[in-house]
Structure 1
């Protein structure tokens, strides 16, 4: 698999985290992949073969050709049906809302086809992106679409943007009462804003941000023990750490570490 990221236009940096591409040669054997929540929604364009999305056990659906995936609140399992060739837009945590024609809450854990979201304009965007062959052309088409949509987009909610910035700065290690006090807004009002703008509660997003910080430590092997990770990331205790980790990844920290170590060894052996 070849994965690359690209920076967005400065006029869209408040909304877009990055563009990314993922490609695999035809000889690569398709394998099931686990996607862990990261608080960001994505717009996906499949130039290659489509992906299975597992619903329960071995039951699956085939994802649309082009879609926006809503907030993920649990581990998501997908699997290529053949050759992978993806162009995608990763939005900031609150980045897709200004463009969303339907409530964000209706998109949770769903791959929503572009046609369902944008009608004919979505189909035209899909056709244009799939017709070109270079990443530079794909980015230009995507940015033309988003910049044009931005003219009539909803106003950015400064409270939410500042709240997300604080969560990221503190790595999710703050209570919602602390956040609402800092933002000078009633807790219930803050929760309603998060539900409509981001699609998850402030508590859920804080947990996801903290998890992502934890995963980086695990993936970089930057820890001496799992107890140290739990303490560094302000989990109440080891049991709390394991419970939250399993909630979002579907496995325990030790199982996740072992899987990553095995994957790292495979790449090392192939070099």
Structure 2
């Protein structure tokens, strides 16, 4: 079972969704890059193992950074997890954590936001229902709603431009639009989002191609490659495989 819950409108600039995943049998899933970072709570009765064999006790949480490649994830039987999926830049705005420290990795919530660990985890442990836990998280976030400082607004505007252009926009143009030097822009973007602007544009372009493969089944792959700024079909295939672990044609056929 997997479901998503929309956040409060005041949180929508920072939080993409809350999500709940629960299985009764062992499950394996491929997770693809999506430009987001997550805080994930173990709401099971048992300890669960995450990447690298790290053990996550019940009612504790870990933070997953922005991904630049696919990851295969396993959920043991009778496991349940509750996540906060932050939009690009959202987790940094709330915690001040330089997101590049956990790119393609994870840390316990205790290591990344000690005050969240000591306050939020005990609150969630007291709540029995998933709805109650989400309500608790929402109130916690609303009480800590960050002020949208100037750099945050600039980076968010740049993210919007990248998404509107479907990843086909040069970094120099983004830096100029943010009234920053390219080097300064790249530094702020990396800290806020966890990946460089160039990598972010590649991920956004990958997500757009994946959408097109899913919704436009008759699209010729060479046309798809050229329309999305690739030199040829082979270039598209290499890039798509790097993010998803499979070829565009393989993804299109399943």
Residue 223 and residue 134 in structure 1: after superposition, are their counterparts in 2 closer, same or farther (change >3 A)? farther
Q: Which moved more, 1:178-187 or 1:204-213?
A: 178-187
Residue in 1 that maps onto 2:217: 222
Where does structure 1 lack aligned partners over 5 or more consecutive residues? 55-59, 262-271
Distance 1:120 1:201 in 2: 28
Residue in 2 that maps onto 1:37: 33
Distance 1:196 1:144 in 2: 26
Distance 2:102 2:245 in 1: 21
1:125 to 115, 120, 142: 120
Where does structure 2 lack aligned partners over 5 or more consecutive residues? none
Residue in 2 that maps onto 1:264: none
Residue in 1 that maps onto 2:237: 242
1:86 to 72, 77, 81: 81
Distance 1:212 1:63 in 2: 31
Pairs within 5 Å for 1:80-229: 80-119=75-114, 121-150=116-145, 157-220=152-215, 222-229=217-224
2:71 to 76, 99, 102: 76
Deviations 1:177-197, CA, capped at 9 Å, x for gaps: 232233343211211111111
Name the count of aligned residue pairs.
250
Residue 152 and residue 183 in structure 1: after superposition, are their counterparts in 2 closer, same or farther (change >3 A)? closer
Q: Secondary structure at the match of 1:109?
A: coil
Whether 1:17 aligns to 2:16 is: yes
Residue in 2 that maps onto 1:61: 53
Structure 2-normalised TM-score? 0.88
Q: Secondary structure at the match of 1:115?
A: helix
